[in-house]
Amino acid sequence: MMHDLLATAAARSPSAPAVRDAEGGWSYRQLDEHSRRFAAWLGRIGVSAGDRVVVQHGRDRRIVAMLHGTSYAGGVFVPVNPAAGDLWLPTVVADAEPAVVLTTDAGATALAGRGGATVMTATDAWRQALDTPALPVGASVPGADQDGLALLMYTSGSTAAPKGVMCAHRQVVFATGAIGQRLGYTADDRVLCALPMSFDYGLYQALLCALGGSELQLAPEGREVELLRRIRDWQSSVVPVVPSLATMIVNLARRRPDRTTPVRLLTNTGEALGPGLVRDLRASFPGAQVCLMFGVTECKRISILEPDGDRARPGSVGRPLAGTEVLVTDPDGRPLPPGEVGEFVVRGPHLAAGYWRAPELTARRFPPGPDQAPELHTGDFGYADPDGYLYFVGRRDDIFKRRGVRMSVTEIEAAAGTIDGVTGAGLVRPDGRYDLTLFVTGSRSPAEVLRELRRLLEPAKTPAVCRRLAELPLTANGKVDRRALAALREPATAPGPAAA
């Protein structure tokens, strides 16, 4: 079961630091006790095996105890980002039909008058949980088993409507172990998490830390300017990043003459770091290795490149996890040879159980393979080299033709990221009114960026328009918000040479 990761860590090293936030920290014994108190409280209010528990709460120690405590109680943890839009929480609650919703004051107001779930603020729930005797160590919940759901992770994907990815205990534990084997978190590591806990990249840091006996360090929201100082004060050794977070840290580091830090490893998934940003991270954290990973919520992680493996294999996203398989297939599902671009199809114990209450979508994305075991058709395209290393080209929705040439959003953004002075790039595909438009951040002018891209790319792949922004709009998970970028487009001034 998912909570066994914590129970094992607490039994092995009870006094070791488990989690800390801006207000203090807990040992593994304390985290385990708080988690079992929360589990007992859930049981007291009627939560039983399989019941969904929606939690909308900030990034602090309590949400880690709520995660493990929900598992101890046999419930299904459903995290919602406090920064999500006003429609997201009610939509998730309507779809998940939870037994209980723990939210913010604003969230409780938004759900007022709706029947069904018990709704209260997470703060009030935590106060009650602290007054509840802890569930006994080793206690089991009737009806809970390895194939039951541990997590329901809502993701919007390419549509605005959220869909719940069903993650069973067996899948979560396998994925944690396979990722941990590659990353090698140890009891000496201190992992700084500044990612939303509703984002599986952030949430799994709690599980990976429990597996390795590491300390999870939760950076508070809204105080990003303190990140570099916090890394130094907390002696963080591992820092997971997405491009927006990496850019912020690099900019902070540039203001400090002394770049000595304790960081040994920087990891990335969710949205790829451009080569220029990887270079800047290495300059900002001398001696630290960079580990690039590739995954989707539906299987957690597809591949991991060994630390600093991008030096030898530029553009690669690594090899599949141990015990899993990734096929590159043509439109008819036939495997393609190395070097040919096709869809990534994933097989293995890390596959989700499908989408919550969406059997047609589940059947389409998780059809049975030749041996009747489910396969995940990712909608991601790329190729494998002769050594089995994967190279991501783009998502199905991001691959398009312009002037008769097939191209992807990813390759053009990656090319922009190699230009010195470009710290971020977001591309918007052409449509009937607007041509291919690139948005960048950094010190280079739009004209300079387009001039460099004409050197790096064939003419059809060079954007018609480039605009420089102070910062790229982001989703709640730190990814580039392409819908927001699309609203900023302007038509090209004239046909022919690219306009700036």
Closest by alpha carbon to 204, among 173, 248, 236, 243?
173
In the chain, how many domains are there?
A: 2
Provide the whole-model pTM: 0.85
Range of the domain at 479: 403-486
Question: How far is the CA of 331 from the CAs of 35, 283, 345, 370, 393, in angstroms?
Answer: 47, 42, 11, 16, 16
Distance CA 112, CA 90 (A): 10
Distance CA 15, CA 7 (A): 13
Give the helix/strand (H/E) hosting 246. helix 243-254
Question: How far is the CA of 352 from the CAs of 85, 139, 142, in angstroms?
Answer: 26, 27, 23
Q: List the chain pLDDT tens, one digit each, 500 residues.
A: 999 999 999 999 999 999 999 999 999 999 999 999 999 999 999 999 999 999 999 999 999 999 999 999 999 999 999 887 667 899 999 999 999 999 999 888 888 877 788 999 999 999 999 999 999 998 888 888 999 999 999 987 544 578 999 999 999 999 999 999 999 999 999 999 999 999 999 999 999 999 999 999 999 988 888 899 999 999 999 999 998 899 889 988 888 877 788 999 999 998 888 888 899 999 999 999 999 999 999 999 999 999 999 999 999 999 999 999 999 999 999 999 999 999 999 999 999 999 999 999 999 999 999 899 999 999 999 999 999 999 998 887 777 878 877 788 888 988 898 899 998 899 998 887 889 999 999 999 999 999 999 988 888 899 999 999 999 998 876 778 888 999 998 765 443 333 34
Is residue 407 domain-resident?
yes
Per-residue pLDDT of 1-48, as tens digits, reads: 999 999 999 999 999 999 999 999 999 999 999 999 999 999 999 999
We report the CATH number of the domain holding residue 417 as 3.30.300.30
Distance CA 35, CA 422 (A): 44
Last residue of a domain, one of 222, 241, 271: 222
We report the CATH number of the domain holding residue 132 as 3.40.50.12780
Average pLDDT, the chain: 91
DSSP state letter for 310: G
Is residue 451 domain-resident?
yes
Last residue of a domain, one of 222, 246, 275: 222
Is residue 317 domain-resident?
no
Is residue 210 domain-resident?
yes
Which residues are CB-neighbours of 36 under 8 A, at least 6 positions away? 69, 72, 134, 135, 136, 137
Which residues are CB-neighbours of 105 under 8 A, at least 6 positions away? 121
Q: Answer whether 53's CB lies under 8 Å from 42's CB.
A: yes
Q: What pLDDT does residue 259 have?
A: 74
- Based on the number of CB atoms within 10 Å of its own CB, is 498 exposed (0-12), middle (13-18) or buried (19 or more)? buried
Q: What pLDDT does residue 499 have?
A: 37
Is residue 270 domain-resident?
no
Is residue 376 domain-resident?
no
Is residue 180 domain-resident?
yes
Per-residue pLDDT of 232-270, as tens digits, reads: 999 999 999 998 899 889 988 888 877 788 999 999 998
Identify the three-state secondary structure at position 372: coil
Last residue of a domain, one of 222, 247, 262: 222
